Amino acid sequence: MVILGSFLLGADCSCEYTPTCVDNINYAELCEGVYDGIYATHDTGIDTDYDLCSTWDMNTIFASGYDDSINAGNVDFSLSTVSHLAIKRRKANTFKWNTIFVKKVDKPEDFYIAGTDIFNAGSTVYQYALVPILNNTEGDYSIVEAYSDFEGLYLLEKDTIYGTTLDVKCDTQRNHSVLRHDPLLGRYPRAVYNSEANYESGTVEGYFCKFNINNKDYYPEDSFAYRQGLTDFLTDKKPKILKLFDGRMWLVNIDETSISDVEDSHWLHRKTSFGFFESGDCNSEKDLYDADLTDINSEYWSCEI
Amino acid sequence: MAVKPTIHKIGTFDANDEFAVEFAYQGSQPYTNELMIYDAGSGQLVYDRAVESMKMSHMLPAKSLANNRTYYAEICLYDVNGAVSELSDKIYFSCYTTPKISILNLNGDGSTKVTASGYDIQVSYSQEENRSLKEYIFRLYDSTGYNLLYESGTKYYSNDSGSIITCPVRGLENNTIYYFSFSGITVDNVKFETPLIPFYAEYRKSLSYSVLNVECDKNAGYMKYNTYLVIVEGKSAGTYTLDNGILNISDGKVFYDSGFNISGDFIIGIKYKSGTSITLSNGTDNITLSLGSYENKDYYKLEVSNSGLPPAVIYSQLYDKTEEMRTVYIKRIDGIYGLMVAEQENNLTVKGGGR
């Protein structure tokens, strides 16, 4: 039958069963039987072969191969088996992890974690791990790799970051405590080591200009207050992390007598410079904690105390 | 030969083992050395032996002395003419039994499989005369046994710690061989070190590669991360077993009632055999897959209820009865359901079904 140029019952599914709408399905039940796996996805284009798909992606609803448990999520833990979730980070091809975030898990929403890791060196491949913890016992690590890549330098505390990519210079020297003692009779001096001190110090110079991350615009006219804030930040007497694009990173204190802000080629082009000295190990969870740069308690540190 | 020989410092050693007493001498070439050892408590001579040797050492045979005792030694040397040197100064030393170290939860043959990313290795220390361990250190090497991955740093031992020392190793990667070693020094400065003991870390990895997403914000200079976790906890009301990747529900049911919500198009695959019923529900309406039998053949029935209206029912074709599993797919696109069955025949997937 043709009505207004269209065929009645002429489409592919015209004679199919009545469309039904069982939505918001939130319950699945398997009764007595022997099961090898279950897989649910919103991707209706998957292969419907004898072997069940086992790949998780954003369309996957639940899946289980019944290897070790009857859980069907993309991780094999649940509220009843996790008290905390931790995010850990280490340089690729190294062994020691640093715990960068810990969250107590009380309800399903707590499984969602979003945050930033500001203690990343430049030009470095890192591994990050999501670690479930139950009463201080760690579960399996889910590890991903990410490349840390940025320009310029950044100076930061726990809640504050100043950085610049303009006119960046950073010169350092290694300070090692050695005294040269000239003998009364001998030809050659003797080295006397009265201290285990062995640290780096240096100077940083850069054009610190207000920058909008979103539209990537610089605002040189509005940068005086920004640099004033930087100077206050430099003189707040707190340890800081100094990191550069090339991978150098230190836990430092600022040599506050050496801070300067001088005009360069133009009155808007002012260069800020300051000295620093290394005051701890930037890869040590303890040193970062002692410097009030992290809030991770020692019970979650990966290294030995 | 009037020069005095000097015995090198003698560290603590186990009297059950032989021990070389070294000495120095500036006089003419010695041809015989005579070592005398006295009990430091009683002053009684317990060892006196002359050995013809030009070497500046005297091998003390095993079991010449007793453990848990302190001694002092003296030595004198004879030259080719039999002229004797001066007697050396006394050197005090002690003998104690070598400590026993054993790794309690690692097999020495490398057969230990660690099934988690972290493992507390238990080391047992004992010493027959109850001489304490002063300090220890443990190390973890990669699969080559050469590259040091982790070193605990020097740990100081106290008697309160008990005889079992826990060495926590963390961050073990899946499917990786590691080597563990433990070394220590007793209060008598006896050093010991275990051989490298291999073990294997193998644990079930998450199905997902995206439970954690990390990317660098190049303009901000930091890394951003977020989790993508789907927690669908399986629960049971009845009896089930898990064996080699097979779930056998012998009584009752296994169900999932949190962590997901299905609306719109979907496909659900279930690989199973002899399951009586599989149900999806939103609390009001159900989608039920059941296995039936007709003329000694199997068929699958999909029933979709719809708010009081007669349910939509789909039947599969008939299949020969088998002990093998079949994979049954329920597919819904735009509210239209399909039922597909795949079975394994000679390693080929045979599909059938209806809609």
The larger pLDDT score, comparing residue A31 to residue B159, is at A31
Res A47: pLDDT: 86
Contact B260 A61 (CB under 8 A): yes
- The verdict on A251 touching B (C-beta cutoff 8 Å) is no
Q: Is the pLDDT of residue B204 over 60?
A: no
Res B207: pLDDT: 44
pLDDT band at B336 (very low <50, low <70, confident <90, very high): confident
- Give the model confidence (pLDDT) of A39-82 as tens digits: 999 988 888 888 888 788 888 899 998 987 898 988 877 778 88
pTM: 0.68
The pLDDT mean for chain A works out to 87
ipTM of the assembly? Answer: 0.85
Q: Is the pLDDT of residue A13 over 70?
A: no
Closest Cβ–Cβ partner in A32, A95, A126 for B171: A95
The larger pLDDT score, comparing residue A136 to residue B234, is at B234
Q: Is the pLDDT of residue B224 over 70?
A: yes
Chain B nearest CA to A181, separation (Å): 32
Mean pLDDT of B17-25: 93
Q: Give the span between the Cα atoms of B198 and B178, in whole angstroms.
A: 6
Res B144: pLDDT: 83
Contacts of A148 in chain B (CB under 8 A): 216, 223
pLDDT band at B206 (very low <50, low <70, confident <90, very high): very low
Give yes or no for a contact between B76 and B6, defined as CB atoms under 8 angstroms apart.
Answer: no
pLDDT band at B3 (very low <50, low <70, confident <90, very high): confident
Show Cβ contacts of residue A72 under 8 Å, excluding neighbours closer than 6 positions. Answer: A38, A62, A63, A64, B232, B234, B256
Closest CA to B77 of B61, B88, B91: B88
- The verdict on A159 touching B (C-beta cutoff 8 Å) is no
Q: Is the pLDDT of residue A304 over 70?
A: no
Closest Cβ–Cβ partner in B207, B227, B248 for A113: B227
DSSP string, A59-107: TEEEEE--SS-S--SSSS--GGG-SEEEEEEEETT----EEEEEEE--S
Closest Cβ–Cβ partner in B215, B233, B246 for A71: B233
Res A30: pLDDT: 93
Res B273: pLDDT: 86
Mean pLDDT of B186-208: 77
Chain A nearest CA to B163, separation (Å): 20
Between the ranges A241-245, B154-158, B167-171, B240-244, where is the mean pLDDT highest?
A241-245
Chain B residue at shortest CA distance from A62: B232
DSSP string, B85-133: -PPPPPEEEEE-PPPEEEETTS-TTS--EE-SS-EEEEEEEE-TT-PPE
Q: Give the span between the Cα atoms of B220 and A213, in whole angstroms.
A: 7
Mean pLDDT of B3-17: 90
Res B209: pLDDT: 47
Contact A40 B267 (CB under 8 A): yes
Contact B261 A26 (CB under 8 A): yes
Contact A20 B152 (CB under 8 A): no
Contact A36 B271 (CB under 8 A): yes
Res A305: pLDDT: 44
- Give the model confidence (pLDDT) of A142-195 as tens digits: 888 889 999 999 999 998 999 999 999 999 999 988 889 998 888 999 999 888
Contact A116 B340 (CB under 8 A): no
Lowest mean pLDDT among B66-75, B86-95, B113-122: B113-122
Give yes or no for a contact between A147 and A128, defined as CB atoms under 8 angstroms apart.
Answer: no
Q: Is the pLDDT of residue B14 over 80?
A: yes
- Give the model confidence (pLDDT) of A96-105 as tens digits: 889 999 999 8
Closest Cβ–Cβ partner in A17, A31, A74 for B206: A74
Closest Cβ–Cβ partner in A52, A56, A139 for B269: A52
Contacts of A30 in chain B (CB under 8 A): 247, 249, 253-255, 270, 272, 275, 278
Interface of A with B in 1-60 (CB under 8 A): 13, 16-44, 46, 48-58, 60
Res A80: pLDDT: 80
Q: Which helix (H) or strand (E) holds A287?
A: helix A285-290
Res A77: pLDDT: 79
Kindly give the pairing relationship between strand B277-281 and strand B286-294.
antiparallel
Chain A nearest CA to B25, separation (Å): 29
Q: Give the span between the Cα atoms of A190 and B248, in whole angstroms.
A: 79
The pLDDT mean for chain B works out to 86
Contacts of B305 in chain A (CB under 8 A): 20, 22
Alpha helices by DSSP H, listed for chain B, are none
Chain A nearest CA to B30, separation (Å): 36
Contact B171 A97 (CB under 8 A): yes
Q: Is the pLDDT of residue A83 over 60?
A: yes
Res B347: pLDDT: 46
Mean pLDDT of B256-276: 89
Contact A48 B342 (CB under 8 A): yes
Contact A114 B118 (CB under 8 A): no
Res A244: pLDDT: 95
Closest Cβ–Cβ partner in B174, B233, B335 for A20: B335
Q: Is the pLDDT of residue B159 over 80?
A: no
Residue located via tokens 């002690």? B94
Kindly give the pairing relationship between strand A137-138 and strand A124-134.
antiparallel
pLDDT band at B168 (very low <50, low <70, confident <90, very high): confident
Chain A nearest CA to B197, separation (Å): 18
Number of helices and strands (H, E) in chain A?
2, 22
Interface of A with B in 89-118 (CB under 8 A): 89-90, 94-97, 108, 111-118
Residue located via tokens 């990895």? B205
Lowest mean pLDDT among A11-15, A253-257, B97-101, B140-144: A11-15
- Give the model confidence (pLDDT) of A19-36 as tens digits: 567 888 999 999 999 999
Contact A24 B263 (CB under 8 A): yes
